[in-house]
Amino acid sequence: MRLRGLLQAERQFAIALPEAERLHGLNRRFAGVVPPAVARACWIAALQGEVAIIFCANGAAASRVRAQAKGVASVLNRSDAPVSSLKVKIRADWNVPAPAEKKDIPVAGINAFKALQVSLPEGDLKTALEHLLNRRQRR
């Protein structure tokens, strides 16, 4: 079952679903008008009347949003979610989690891949494994 169906099934969550969808739409439009780094550091948390409340993880992102406030507000303004202005707040305690650190393949694993590649018949799997090993050697 999809998440939307689960939320609609529970009355207490179903009440919040339209607001969550509206905020999600605002955030998609917001991400389309600001630079990607700013979109990752900021989030439209609420809409109070026609004022969009935007939380930013740092001062640089907040400054950029404030500098583009009129243009951003005009892009966000729609009949289903009217936005005439922005209120930007820095929330240093709120931050996007850092991407997970990639773990390296141990030497024993690389040796096992090499042994497998030698034993495979010609074909797509052998070619793919060859590309993987070639990329590993370039590092």
Name all domains of the chain by residue range, CATH numbers in brackets.
Answer: 3-90 (3.30.300), 107-138 (no CATH)
**Per-residue pLDDT tens digits of the chain, which is 139 residues long:** 466 676 667 777 777 778 888 888 899 999 999 999 999 999 999 989 999 999 999 999 999 999 999 999 999 998 878 899 999 999 877 665 666 777 888 889 889 989 998 999 999 999 998 998 888 776 6
54 phi/psi in degrees, rounded to 5: -115, 125
pLDDT at site 99: 67
Q: What is the pLDDT of residue 100?
A: 72
Nearest to 31 by CA among 21, 22, 44: 44
What single-letter amino acid sits at 73?
Answer: A
Scored b (16 or more CB within 10 A) or e, 51-68 reads ebebbbbeeebbebbeeb
